[in-house]
């Protein structure tokens, strides 16, 4: 069985602060994919990143960075110099051999001006 845990239900920061969203996963599959999605107040889930289990390189995209560590089964997401537009619910997801993703419960990020 697969499991994704996002222990942080809600995070509140002030603009320009850095913030890290945690994601811990469990799977017995040796090949799997990890994802992050952003859900702004409008409701649509926006795909941010996909990582496969064989690629542990960290990735940076502008103010966003992702830290994948198989040793701790974690795939954490950091936003540098947060902005009000980053306010959203962020979901981490895991997809194994079944190609049916398992989603975490989401972390609500509130960035105050």
93 phi and psi angles, rounded to 5 deg: -140, 155
From the list 60, 56, 32, 30, the residue with the least C-alpha distance to 48 is 60
Establish if 21 lies at the interface with other proteins (CB under 8 A).
no
103 binds other proteins (CB under 8 A): yes
DSSP-derived secondary structure letter, 67:
E
Verify binding: residue 68, other proteins, rule CB under 8 A.
no
Q: Is 91 in the site for other proteins (CB under 8 A)?
A: yes
Residues forming a β-bridge with 84: none
In angstroms, rounded to a whole number, what is the distance separating the alpha carbons of residues 91 and 78? 13
The verdict on 99 binding other proteins (CB under 8 A) reads yes
Dihedral pair phi/psi, residue 70, rounded to 5°: -65, -35
Minimum distance of other proteins from residue 42's CB (angstroms): 7
Among 30, 42, 57, 61, interactor with other proteins by CB under 8 A:
42
Per CB under 8 A, the segment of 18-26, 29-37, 57-65, 72-80 that binds other proteins is 29-37
101 lies in the binding site for other proteins (CB under 8 A) = yes
Return the bridge partners of 66, or none.
59, 77
Please report, as ranges, the residues that interact with other proteins according to CB under 8 A.
Answer: 9, 33, 35, 37, 42-47, 50, 52, 91, 93, 95, 99-101, 103-106
């Amino acid at each position: 069985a697969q499991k994704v845990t996002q222990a942080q239900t809600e995070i509140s920061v002030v603009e320009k602060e850095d913030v890290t969203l945690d994601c811990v996963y469990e799977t017995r599959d040796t090949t799997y994919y990890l994802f992050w999605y952003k859900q702004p107040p409008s409701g649509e889930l926006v795909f941010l990143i996909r990582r496969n289990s064989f690629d542990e390189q960290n990735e940076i995209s502008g103010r966003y960075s992702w830290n994948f560590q198989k040793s701790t089964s974690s795939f954490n997401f950091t936003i540098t110099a947060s902005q009000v537009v980053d306010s959203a619910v962020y979901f981490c997801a895991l997809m194994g051999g079944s190609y049916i993703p398992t989603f975490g419960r989401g972390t609500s990020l509130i960035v105050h001006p």
